[in-house]
Amino acid sequence: MNRFLPRALMAPAVAALFLWMIVPLAMTIYFSLIRFNLMQPEVRGFAGLGNFEYFVTDPSFMTAVVNTVVLLASVIAITVAGGIAVALLVDAPFPGRSLVRLLLIAPFFVMPTVNALLWKHMMMNPIYGVLAQVWQFFGLQRVDWLTDLPLFSIILMVAWQWLPFATLIFITSLQSMNREQLEAATMDGANYLQKLRFMVIPHLGRSIAVVIMIEMIFLMSVFAEIFTTTGGGPGDASTNVAFLIFKQALLNFDAGVASAGALFAVLLANVAAVFLIRMIGKNLD
Amino acid sequence: MNEPVPLHLDEAPLALPVARKRAALPWTIRYNLALAVRTAAAWLVTLLLFFPLGWMALTAFKTELQAIQVPPLFFFRPTLENFVEVQQRSDYLLYAKNSVITSVCSTLIGLAIAAPAAYSMAFFRTKKTRDILMWMLSTKMMPAVGALVPIYVLAQSANLLDTRTGLIVVFTLSNLPIMVWMLYSHFKDIPAEILEAARMDGATLWQEARMVLLPLAMGGFASTGLLCLVLAWNEAFWALNLSSAKSGTLATLIASYSSPEGLFWAKLSAASLMAIAPIVVFGWLTQKQLVQGLTFGAVK
């Protein structure tokens, strides 16, 4: 086989992705340097770094960055810890285990818009919502989730969706554990926590890395849940970077500022990518 | 210099009492008790986590009045009127058709582009292979919203706004990195010697791919395709921003219920149920392959 063929086979994918990356990037850089309002296409002109300044000094900006990080970190923490716990719970056989597994993974297949509306209307509605009923049953003050705890509500929805993903992967990984080793440890007098700490968790290391990597890729740009529930509000309480850019582009029609924000998102993604490759990339080769 | 480690024989008995204090109950009873506790705990957690979906499914068969009844209603006479009304009001079938066409087409096109690339990277590794793979993944990490304005402008000038073609192109490109990665990790598990042997026997590249690689990597193709089908079906961001009445997918149909009109819970539930049922059932049927796919085959 000559040297040409492997490259030719790779070409379509590399070319397609290169265009998919470079064309929007080039246009974004261009837009970010001009005044460009979608509602007034005739008003154009060089803006220098004005758009960047506007975006970065926007009071919403820091909030959005913090929210993005908080959302990412909390959902990953909840799903990894919760996923391991649930996986351990359903690892050993018990009546109805296969049905349990089907029910457990179902939320992962639910599309984000359905997830969001399901929680917004049926679970978190302060008057009729199921959570309100439960709170009242226990004699607690009802919570207006999306108004009082907007970011937490979003975290809850997203974590609910991704917990099954983590669980599913941990279940699969647990099945490949060496049972004889575990039994030997029991014989030697190791208690449950010791076995968990020194045998189970290390065995799950690789799958934890996979879960963190995939979730980071998808959670950086959580959008639909915010779009369909809080609309980023109240104020900026549940706005992440992705939603802030969207707000500038399609609600304020300011493509210039939105593009400056997009370049910031690219930067953020690359920082995350470097971090990811360092921490996890080696684990996956 | 290797001195034998002295055995502390006097320490050994200390480990024994562990076995003694547990012997109070016969092991059969202890076992059954543990099983009962574990079963109850597992079912409790499962039902809690599944509850929102189950509740939505129940609500879909209620009347609007029953849907918002306080305290919530668990037993009632089910009705199908919501499903009929969703179809009549918003043409569910058109959105469903758009969802099926866009997700299936983007998956097939994606596989056709990703497979040769993954083959080349897995069997003709160079120093750059790893960098290329990482670069591909990094394109997936950029929030889609970053590319929204340019893609919107391009789609507009190419007359692809609100067309299925436009969505197919975008879905394919946004899933492509994942597809290359998944196929690559599946191909890597295939011993290169098998392919070489076929080549020695005079097989052309096409024959080699069709008669040796394809049968061996069938599982990989299946799991990659399945996952991308799920991702494309559930894709909301591009669908919301690039399509509306003509080419909208089920994700956009549901988003249209977020307005105050959406307070018709029973109808919202019926529409949601119809939007997720196909892909959930599909996911259940293929969960084994999906795990392989989701983890790039890294978790066995």
Question: How far is residue A248's CA from residue A255's CA, in Å, rounded to a whole number?
Answer: 7
The residue among B138 and A149 whose pLDDT is bigger is: A149
**Cβ separation of A168 and B287 shorter than 8 Å?**
yes
Tell me what ipTM this predicted complex has.
Answer: 0.84
User: Within an 8 Å CB–CB cutoff, is residue A111 touching chain B?
Assistant: yes
Best to test chain A binding among B14, B142, B188, B231 (most A CBs inside 10 Å): B142
Residue B1: the pLDDT is: 44
User: Within an 8 Å CB–CB cutoff, is residue A22 touching chain B?
Assistant: no
Chain A contacts in chain B segment 24-63 (CB below 8 A): 35, 38-39, 41-43, 45-47, 49-53, 55-56, 59
User: Within an 8 Å CB–CB cutoff, is residue B207 touching chain A?
Assistant: no
pLDDT tens digit sequence for B102-137: 999 999 999 999 999 998 888 888 878 878 888 887
Question: How far is residue B77's CA from residue B64's CA, in Å, rounded to a whole number?
Answer: 13
DSSP3 helix / strand / coil % (chain B, rounded to 5) = 75, 0, 25
Cβ contacts of B187 within 8 Å, gap of 6 or more: B118, B119, B121, B122, B123, B213, B217, B220
Q: What value, to the nearest 5°, has the Cα angle with vertex A112 and ends A108 and A116? A: 110
Residue B258: the pLDDT is: 67
Domain A4-284 has CATH 1.10.3720.10: yes
| Residues of chain B with C-beta less than 8 angstroms from the C-beta of A116 | 258
The enclosing H or E element of A204 equals helix A201-219
Residue B207: the pLDDT is: 82
Which pLDDT band holds residue B294 (cuts at 50, 70, 90)?
low
For residue A102, the tally of other CB atoms under 10 A from its CB is: 15
Q: What integer best gives the mean pLDDT of chain B?
A: 81
Question: How far is residue A199's CA from residue A191's CA, in Å, rounded to a whole number?
Answer: 11
The predicted model scores a pTM of 0.83
Domain residue spans of chain A: 4-284
| Residues of chain A with C-beta less than 8 angstroms from the C-beta of B158 | none
Which of A132-136, B4-8, B54-58, B84-88 has the weakest average pLDDT?
B4-8
Q: What is the pLDDT along chain A (285 residues), one digit of tens a residue?
A: 567 888 888 889 889 989 988 888 888 888 888 887 777 766 677 777 778 888 888 888 888 889 988 999 999 999 999 999 999 998 888 888 889 988 998 998 898 889 988 898 888 888 778 888 888 888 887 788 888 888 999 999 999 999 998 998 898 888 888 888 888 888 888 888 888 888 888 888 888 888 888 888 888 878 888 888 887 778 778 888 888 888 887 777 788 888 888 888 888 877 877 777 776 666 555
- Percent of chain B scored above 70 by pLDDT? 87
- Checking if the pLDDT of B174 tops 70, the result is yes
Residue ranges and CATH numbers for the domains of chain B are 96-295 (1.10.3720.10)
Highest mean pLDDT range out of B140-149, B261-270, B276-285?
Answer: B276-285
| Residues of chain B with C-beta less than 8 angstroms from the C-beta of A249 | 145, 148-149
